[in-house]
Amino acid sequence: MTEENIKEAMIKTIESVFSDMVFIDTLHIEKSPENFDYTQILYIDIISPSNGYIIAYLPLDLRKTIVETIHSTDWDEMHASEIDDCLLEILNVIAGNFMTELLGRGAKYNISFPAVNYDEEDIEQLDKSQEIYFSAEGPIFRINVLLNS
Amino acid sequence: MKYKRILITDDSATSRMIIKRCIEMAGFFDLEYFEAEDGLQGLTILDSEKVDLIITDLKMPKMGGKTFIRKLKSSEDKKDIPIVVVSSLDNEILEARLKREGVLAVIGKPLSPAKVFDFMEETDD
Amino acid sequence: MRYDIGIGHLKTSSTQGDEIKTYALGSCVAVILYDRKTKIAGMIHIALPESAVNTDKAKSLPGYFVDTGLPLLLKEFKELGGDRKTTVIKIAGGSSIMDENKTFDIGKRNGIAVKRYLWKNGLGVMKEDIGGNISRTVSIDVDTGRVLLSNAKDKWEI
């Protein structure tokens, strides 16, 4: 399990989950954008076979597009809890699909419940994770992934 | 379609909504749904409501899908209700184990109308 | 009678014996509707996801784009008596072809845009044959609702 494997599996997972669940065409961006703004991060722990995490940094305009598409409702008409639940379910699906993509369908793994996190400082080993940027038909978002071997 | 009353057990309200929408989009309308956030709530609902299909997630707080399924299969009056697992934990070993325990089908998330349509075509007689 | 539809065109029919057909879908996507109860069929041959890139074209040929073409197809289908409750939706095409600036895959984006539009309108794709690098000719038989695909080498059904 190399950093390259992990990155490839994440790129494939994001592209397929976004196209099948959120109906947005995503493309991996090799170069980090100069200005990347976000207000909220979504976090999920990977427990086994090795520990790590996946973090999604989604800008507000993209969060709106995602939630409005999935629920087919106006963002303003939705409760904060519904919005969080929607985004966390997507992260949950990303995490499951990522582990299957990385380890194959024959491997066992365990992940935690996803959570909304407002403070990056609480996350350990953030500097060790890989930053992967995507374009979602315009808006840019980032996924950080770490899997300790 | 032979299923008219369906229990959906999933801790995410979004996921329950997606499941209901996909069933409808696959052409199955006017069904009655019961919703539970975990296996415990699911069992409580089943004590008072009769359903003819259970769709359950695996990873849920309080009581996860594996325990829920075991409890259903060991209950005299609930053991024959067909169970479909819809989960992002897509794994061959787990799928084989669940099927051995009597689960009708295991479908990976994200769910789609096409996946529901295929399942219904395969199981509807 | 057979109706051949070109890029950006659509056709609906409830006439028994009719066939609706479109040729050589590359990155374009055909959306095919069939009401199993009333035996009404519809098909559109869409080229691009969004009309915003060329509003003049969207006015003269709305079927060219997902966001202007699909509402027209759905409207015509409904007016002819098509009911969403008994309708099967299939899509074909969307082969992988990059846009002029090589920034995105038009075929993939077309397929996604179709599903997004349908999902927002409470509709979903039940069968699909999209992606890859092949050219697809697709037809629907109004009597049976059978959707046949073909290219130079093969014939198959979805």
Q: Tell me the shortest Cα–Cα distance from C84 to chain B, in angstroms.
A: 8
Assigned CATH topology for domain A3-30+37-147: Chemotaxis protein chec (3.40.1550)
Nearest to A93 among B13, B61, B109 (CB): B109
Q: Which of C38, C112, C118, C126 to mutate to test the interface with B (most CBs of B within 10 A)?
A: C126
pLDDT of residue C138 exceeding 80: yes
Q: Whole-angstrom Cα distance, residue A136 to residue A134? A: 6
Hey, how many other C-beta atoms are within 10 angstroms of the C-beta on B8?
A: 23
Q: Tell me the shortest Cα–Cα distance from A124 to chain B, in angstroms.
A: 24
A53 contacts A129 by C-beta, under 8 angstroms: yes
* Chain C residue set in contact with B, beta carbons under 8 Å: 85-88, 118-119, 122-128
In 3D space, the residue among A100, A99, A73 whose CA is nearest the CA of residue A86 turns out to be A73
Assigned CATH topology for domain B5-123: Rossmann fold (3.40.50)
What are the structure tokens assigned to B102, written together?
């009597």
One-letter amino acid identity for A94? I
DSSP 8-state code for residue B111: P
B4 to chain A, any CB pair closer than 8 A? The answer is no
In 3D space, the residue among A60, A90, A89 whose CA is nearest the CA of residue A75 turns out to be A60
C70 is catalytic: no
**In a structure prediction context, what are the per-residue pLDDT tens digits for chain B, which is 125 residues long?**
789 999 999 999 999 999 999 999 999 999 999 999 999 999 999 999 999 999 999 999 999 999 999 999 999 999 999 999 999 987 888 899 999 999 999 999 999 999 999 999 888 75
- A139: preceding bond cis by omega (within 30 degrees): no
Nearest to C120 among A19, A69, A137 (CB): A69
Q: Whole-angstrom Cα distance, residue C6 to residue A35? A: 44
Q: Please state whether beta strands A41-48 and A110-111 pair in parallel, antiparallel, or not at all (unpaired).
A: antiparallel
Which of helix, strand or coil describes residue C27?
coil
Instruction: Give pLDDT, residue A108.
Output: 86
Query: Cβ contacts of residue B86 below 8 Å, gap of 6+?
Result: B10, B15, B19, B55, B56, B57, B107, B108, B109, B111
In this predicted model, what pLDDT tens digit does every residue of C29-85 receive, in sequence order? 999 999 999 999 999 999 999 999 999 999 999 999 999 999 999 999 999 999 999
In sequence order, what E strands does chain A have? 26-29, 41-48, 52-57, 110-111, 115-117, 130-136, 140-147
Q: Taking the mean position of all CA atoms in its chain, how far away is CA A2?
A: 19
Q: Whole-angstrom Cα distance, residue C109 to residue C132? A: 13
pLDDT of residue A9 exceeding 70: yes
Q: Where are the domains of chain A?
A: 3-30+37-147
What are the structure tokens assigned to C44, written together?
């559109």
Q: Which entry of C20, C25, C28, C41 is annotated as an active-site residue?
A: C28
- Predicted ipTM > 0.95: no
The percentage of residues in chain A with a pLDDT greater than 90, rounded to a whole number, is 77
* Chain A residue set in contact with C, beta carbons under 8 Å: 19, 23-25, 27, 69, 72, 137
User: b/e string for A67-78 if b means 16 or more Cβ within 10 A?
Assistant: bbbbbeeeeeeb
In this predicted model, what pLDDT tens digit does every residue of C86-110 receive, in sequence order? 999 999 999 998 777 777 899 999 9
Give Cα separations from A8 to A4, A25, A96, A131, A147 (angstroms): 6, 17, 15, 12, 13
Answer yes or no: do A96 and B87 touch at CB < 8 A: yes
Nearest to B90 among A86, A89, A105 (CB): A105
pLDDT of residue C10 exceeding 70: yes
B-contacting chains (≥3 CB pairs under 8 Å): A, C
In 3D space, the residue among A132, A42, A39, A58 whose CA is nearest the CA of residue A95 turns out to be A42
Q: Nearest residue of B to residue A70 by CA position? A: B18
Answer yes or no: do A25 and C112 touch at CB < 8 A: yes
pLDDT of residue A142 exceeding 90: yes
Q: Where are the domains of chain B?
A: 5-123
Q: For the residues A40-64, what does the mean pLDDT come to?
A: 93
pLDDT of residue A26 exceeding 80: yes
C-contacting chains (≥3 CB pairs under 8 Å): A, B
Q: Taking the mean position of all CA atoms in its chain, how far away is CA C33?
A: 8
Q: Tell me the shortest Cα–Cα distance from C116 to chain A, in angstroms.
A: 5
Instruction: Give pLDDT, residue B125.
Output: 56
One-letter amino acid identity for C64? Y
How many Cα atoms sit within 13 Å of A65 on the Cβ side? 19
First to last CA, chain A: 7
In 3D space, the residue among C14, C11, C18, C29 whose CA is nearest the CA of residue C111 turns out to be C29
Hey, how many other C-beta atoms are within 10 angstroms of the C-beta on C57?
A: 16
Q: Where are the domains of chain C?
A: 2-147
Q: CATH assignment of C2-147?
A: 3.30.1330.200
Q: Whole-angstrom Cα distance, residue A52 to residue A95? A: 11
Interface A:C, Cβ pairs < 8 A: 25
What are the structure tokens assigned to C52, written together?
């915003």
Structure-derived torsion over alpha carbons of residues C46, C51, C53, C59, reported in degrees to the nearest 10: 100
